[in-house]
Structure 1
Amino acid sequence: MTSTIAHNLVHIDGSFGEGGGQILRNAVALSALLSKPISIPNVRHNRKPPGLRKQHEAGIILAAAICSAETEGVHLSSTSVTFKPGKIELPKILTADPGTAGSTTLLLQVSLPCLLFSSSPTPPSQLTLRGGTNAIQAPQIDYTQHVFLPFMKRHFGLDIALNIIRRGYFPKGGGAVFCSVPSLTKALPPVTLTERGPVQLIRGEARVGGLPFIIAERMRNAACAILLAAGVSSAIIRIDAVRETQEEAFGSGGGILVFAETGNGCVIGGSSVSTKSRDPEEIGKEAAEELLRNLRHDGCVDEHLQDQIIIFIALAKGHSTIKTGPLTDHTITAIKIAEQMTGATFHLQQNPSGFVIISCDGIGYTPSPHKIDKI
């Protein structure tokens, strides 16, 4: 759906901060929820090549379908996008497919906030997301399943069901994921998470599809060796090696996720995606070292969860406080977008020992009778 959209838009510079696709995802999701038309020039300015890729195009089209939006510039390589949201009417039954190995988890990032709120009780919305499940430069579906969604359930009470129909490994994609997303009729609660507690268990899976099982074993063994060398007790390490059948995975590839579960219910992750140019030992080592790096800061969320939760605490009602490690560019960008779009107030307290306290006074978002900013 297209229209000429020109005046009184919220202008968001697509080149600031990390200057990538996250600006699009967060801005479009908040535009849909808040009924604020937006204009984004300099789309993915800091990426080579700049402009929309197929997965970004698919994500915006998906968000537009959720809120009956009018759009301009939503096509491959476009460097300027406008998005005018309409009314969100839930539940939705939708499918998104970029036709590439574009990440299913990034499609979920742009659509999930749009589906969470309803002015009256409704059945869950249903999403089928196609593309890459274990892709580079994006959270693997395993991370979403074992780290992100448990956080959403524990702290926001959201029981989002996720079923991996078929894995699609880098570089071919071809995967499919089904999500059932319940909606709320009230605001999200604030989150207070400042005490991680001791690590009680380290779990994980090294997976391959279309490749020999020994490659998964080599990734797992390398990850275990790094953890043991760092002083982690073998008694708390539970990392499995898995090989998928042809029916369970498209193409050939692999990946590994390792995650620590703590006494206070925190989940800290580390992951890596297999590529032809890298040995399995390097992939396993990278995932374990990422986990250890995130544990050293004594934060309650890791560097990947850190930026994904910003949009939700901005929408929540009340004061959220979360302890994490050093801020990533993605998190700084997410905060800027949230402040500009919602009016939520963030405060950052950096500690010399390396951790950061993120505080946010959220706006207490709930759906209201439909209103779109005039243009």
Structure 2
Amino acid sequence: MDMMDIDGSQGGGQLLRSALTLSLCTGIGFTIGDIRARRRRPGLMRQHLTAVNAATRVGNASTHGAQIGATALRFEPGPVSAGTYQFATGSAGSATLVLQTILPALWQADGPSRVQLEGGTHNPLAPSADFIADSYLPALARMGVQASLQLQQHGFHPAGGGVLQVEVAPCAALQACDFSTRGALASIEAKVLMSGLPANIGQRELQVLADTLGVDPHPRHVQVVRPALGPGNVALVHVRHVDHVEVFSGHGERGVSAEQVGARLAGQVQQYLDGRCCVGEYLSDQLLLPMALAGAGTFTTAAISEHLASNARLIEKFLPVEFDWQPHEDGGWQVSVSR
């Protein structure tokens, strides 16, 4: 088996998850050392280990070093198997990041799959379940991927307890897509999720979003999550253009007022609206792999993040593609991939 050596000190958990995904999709194994070496707590944490275990099961892989705190890992993939799976982080670790690790392998499998994931569904440092359902999966659908997500139970940090159900159909070949333009603005919608906290906090956040973005501040847009497994507060804004949808989120935290949460979120949304690029910062990084598997594609984005750059270089090691980004005439950058 072909094996690749990866320097884990050059990134965090995303570098490991990307390597797992690429390994499953290409059949190339890897060793990685100095995992998350620059983080305050280096090595594999529970949510990283869940991603490793999920990739191991889906890809019939053999691993060495898959344990909490490990700073080195060897991963040798086998054939990917469609099927019914259940994975739990055992904490508030992100269930959506585990999903993104195995999803590309499952759409390359020879049959449909159903996956239940348990853990955090709305985490500050991970894509929310709403983002996955309303932005990420629709973007993949344009490329030919048929997948759906159902949120059965919300999970917030630090309690966790969220449940996601995902169904994935096999996709014989991805279609190259152009995400350069987003089309005319269709709507801006906001909602606030509250768990175990007074609903008026959400109403205050919603009012700030209404004052700055013009969204509907009606109380029906404040959703009280029951049962409340723990305290949680997330404000979400869906920006719908004719050809593209972006989902932005702001998370309540101790010592930060509802007005500050709303203002920060409004600022993110306004920055996107003021630009003319199609793809937001987080989705830009996540589109790289499906574009590479398609062999071609392009998108415009406001900035080239460190995540995007490092992910592109890792993908180029596993797949016979090259990424390029150039300043775009309307501002921002145009990112493209070719064989």
Partners in 1 of 2:236 and 2:163 — Cα distance?
A: 19
2:149 alignment partner in structure 1: 162
Partners in 1 of 2:94 and 2:250 — Cα distance?
A: 14
2:128 alignment partner in structure 1: 140
Partners in 2 of 1:213 and 1:93 — Cα distance?
A: 37
1:369 alignment partner in structure 2: none
CA RMSD, Structure 1 to Structure 2 (Å) = 2.0
Tell me: higher relative CO, structure 1 or 2? Use CA pairs within 8 A at least 6 residues apart. 1
1:344 alignment partner in structure 2: 321
Query: Following superposition of structure 1 onto structure 2, how do residues 331-370 of structure 1 map, counting pairs within 5 Å?
Result: 331-351=308-328, 354-361=331-338
Partners in 2 of 1:236 and 1:315 — Cα distance?
A: 42
Amino acid at match of 2:121: T
Query: Following superposition of structure 1 onto structure 2, how do residues 270-289 of structure 1 map, counting pairs within 5 Å?
Result: 270-289=248-267
Query: Which of 276, 283, 287 is residue 305 of structure 1 equivalent to?
Result: 283
1:200 alignment partner in structure 2: 186
1:231 alignment partner in structure 2: none
Query: Which of 190, 199, 203 is residue 217 of structure 1 equivalent to?
Result: 203
> More displaced, 274-283 or 167-176?
274-283
CA deviation map 1:295-337 (0-9, x unaligned):
33311110110101111101014x3111111111111121111
Partners in 2 of 1:287 and 1:356 — Cα distance?
A: 23
Query: SS state of the match for residue 168, structure 1?
Result: coil
**Deviation of 1:239 (Å):** 9.0
> More displaced, 131-140 or 61-70?
131-140
Query: SS state of the match for residue 149, structure 1?
Result: helix
**Deviation of 1:80 (Å):** 0.9
**Deviation of 1:268 (Å):** 2.4
CA deviation map 1:76-129 (0-9, x unaligned):
111111100011122x211111211100111111011110113x4x2x211111
Q: State TM-score, norm by structure 2.
A: 0.94
Q: Does 1:30 align with 2:30?
A: no
**Deviation of 1:143 (Å):** 1.3
**Deviation of 1:130 (Å):** 0.7
Residues 196 and 232 of structure 2 are in contact (CA less than 8 Å); yes or no, is this contact kept in structure 1?
yes
Note closer, same or farther for the CA distance 1:211–1:237 as it changes in structure 2 (3 Å cut): closer
Note closer, same or farther for the CA distance 1:72–1:223 as it changes in structure 2 (3 Å cut): same
Amino acid at match of 2:284: Q
1:3 alignment partner in structure 2: none
Residues 203 and 238 of structure 1 are in contact (CA less than 8 Å); yes or no, is this contact kept in structure 2?
no
1:109 alignment partner in structure 2: 100
Runs of 5+ consecutive residues of structure 1 not aligned to the other structure:
1-6, 229-233, 363-375
Query: Which of 268, 274, 284 is residue 246 of structure 2 equivalent to?
Result: 268
**Deviation of 1:27 (Å):** 0.7
**Deviation of 1:35 (Å):** 0.7
Partners in 2 of 1:261 and 1:33 — Cα distance?
A: 32
**Deviation of 1:254 (Å):** 1.3
Partners in 2 of 1:275 and 1:359 — Cα distance?
A: 37
Residues 277 and 330 of structure 2 are in contact (CA less than 8 Å); yes or no, is this contact kept in structure 1?
no
Residues 294 and 303 of structure 1 are in contact (CA less than 8 Å); yes or no, is this contact kept in structure 2?
no
Amino acid at match of 1:334: N
> More displaced, 19-28 or 353-362?
353-362
Runs of 5+ consecutive residues of structure 2 not aligned to the other structure:
none
Partners in 1 of 2:206 and 2:216 — Cα distance?
A: 16
Query: SS state of the match for residue 255, structure 1?
Result: strand
Identical pairs, percent: 29
Residues 195 and 225 of structure 2 are in contact (CA less than 8 Å); yes or no, is this contact kept in structure 1?
yes
Between Structure 1 and Structure 2, how many residues are aligned? Answer: 339
1:70 alignment partner in structure 2: 62
